[in-house]
Structure 1
């Protein structure tokens, strides 16, 4: 079933229990589980800046006015004065497979291109995460290549795939 009403909004205090779950429930985040994290870190970050920092942030993905997960962005720099955004997404298991992910990532790109001067947005995923690869392509990203030994997960170093979208790429209809 496709959800038609999809939006991104700032994190509220009511979202903190969901964010804490992602820090302590191994199966909730899938392949991106990197061990238990401090669940109260979510509260401290929210108190600091509501997850709307100058070099990183988080927005809640909503559908039918219910939180479905969140998108993130963080600043990176290859050199010089120009920076880029690295984005990510995590959806609650019951909200996956409905076309929300690619649309949320496309909306996040539109938001970042509209409100920041960044020319480049990039996203990484695992080679075995075929659903996310398709999602990124639908959101207007292009595969740039393999990043060897990019992450340590489940006891070993694993490759990653790097995708990017540029401000000058064609817009994506959400």
Structure 2
């Protein structure tokens, strides 16, 4: 019952679904199996067949004063919806937010049962197994802890990897093999910052570099329009890092330069980047047919743009 009480109100609220129908079916199936089979292996009490039926006047939901069952059964909805919103607010993709919400729902619903009151107390105190469950669900790279910084000498191995590892920048950005020291030479010449183009490191909380964010002027005169791009190492993707990095870069360019327009180009098949740009307020403005060559085929490139007047700092 706690699981159903959590699922129903959120679905009827009319917001973006925190969990998909297939996830609801999975939760209900595992819940029914886990709770339904357990009594089958529990020994019966000696007088179980001699007990009188419950009085018809007995209410369906009972509980101690001050803590009605409706509140106890309904609170998981608020908890797992908050987990979903927390992930979206931190810049995580909706798929990750839904995964976190689904994994929060089951243990929180279990804690809502009367015989789990002691576990709920431990959860509130931040100790015990339930607390460990929630710690397990926190992403390794908290998107809200990602920051941008200039490249340093300690990052040269990362820059070398971008030149030698086809998977480093992702399937849509690999330009082919070239000079393995090209990016190292660029850093040695100007620190990767110049009027013609620039790039900075995407770093996590411990300052380890996990990606690259770049920009370059477009149009005339220089400084009115900038084109941006990001790349995140494969082991750090799917956690909202790229979305937050682009937000930080957009905030920087509108806050520290004379830019009136920021644009981004993306492969027509790069759905993840398209969603990230739209989440940041970019609008799809056009399609350049056959502009790029990818996996033996000429492919389309989409154009996204954002004006200074449309920018909302900190979005999402």
Alignment TM-score, normalising by the size of structure 2: 0.52
Select 2:310's aligned residue among 162, 169, 173. Answer: 169
Determine whether 1:103 maps to 2:266: no
> If you compute each CA radius of gyration, which structure gives the higher value, 1 or 2?
2
- CA drift at 1:49: 1.0
Name the structure 2 match of 1:27: 167
- CA drift at 1:28: 2.3
Residues 119-148 of structure 1 deviation map (CA, whole Å, 9 limit, x = unaligned): 111001112111111111122211112111
Q: Which stretches of structure 1, 4 residues or longer, exceed 4 Å deviation after superposition?
A: 79-82
Of stretches 4-13 and 19-28 in structure 1, the one that deviates more from structure 2 is 19-28
How well do the aligned residues superpose, as a CA RMSD in angstroms?
1.6
Q: Which has the higher contact order (CA 8 A, sep 6+)?
A: 1
Q: How many residues are aligned here?
A: 173
Return the structure number with greater strand share.
Answer: 1
Matches of 2:154 and 2:194, distance apart in 1: 19
Residues 20-45 of structure 1 deviation map (CA, whole Å, 9 limit, x = unaligned): 11111112222211211212111211
Select 2:204's aligned residue among 48, 55, 63. Answer: 63
Alignment TM-score, normalising by the size of structure 1: 0.92
Return the structure number with greater helix share.
Answer: 2
Residues 47-98 of structure 1 deviation map (CA, whole Å, 9 limit, x = unaligned): 1110110121001011122211010011111x56664111110001111111
- CA drift at 1:4: 2.5
Unaligned runs of 5+ in 2: 1-138
